[in-house]
Structures are given as structure tokens and as C-alpha cells.
Amino acid sequence: MPGVIIVTGGAEGIGAEICQGLAADGLKVVVADYAKDAAEKTIAPASACVRPRLLMMR
């Protein structure tokens, strides 16, 4: 089982669904995307079971 999975384009659409599914399976997921607001929405459901952190890089 991998330690951390990085999903590029993970803030919206299929990428977001993949991130949410992997997190629901208990995996650590990095949402890599330029869209800050969308990334925040993607990680919000995970806050019930983990402490999500958002780090934006330019």
C-alpha cells in the first residue's frame, strides 16, 4: 500500500472524484492543482476523518 498518492488536476472533475475515493479508502492524498477554491472544496469532505492541510505553491 502506498504512503502518499499525488493526483495532478485533483481539484475538479474526475481528479476530485479520484482524490475523494482514495481518501475514503484511507489513503493519504495530495491534491495538486492551481485552483485554490476548488481544491478547498475537494478536501472539505475529508475533514470528518482526517486533518486536511492546504498548501498553495506558485
pTM across the whole model: 0.75
* Residue 8, strand partner residues: 32
Q: d(Cα 10, Cα 6) in Å, to the nearest integer?
A: 8
Q: Which pLDDT score is estimated for 44?
A: 82
d(CA 36, CA 30): 13
Q: Spell out the per-residue pLDDT of the chain, length 58, in tens.
A: 568 888 999 889 999 999 888 888 888 888 888 888 888 888 887 776 666 666 666 6
Q: What are phi and psi of 56, to 5 degrees?
A: -100, 135
Give residue 20's pLDDT. 86
Q: Residue 31: name the closest of 10, 3, 54, 4 by CA.
A: 10
For residue 31, the tally of other CB atoms under 10 A from its CB is 27
pLDDT of residue 15: 92
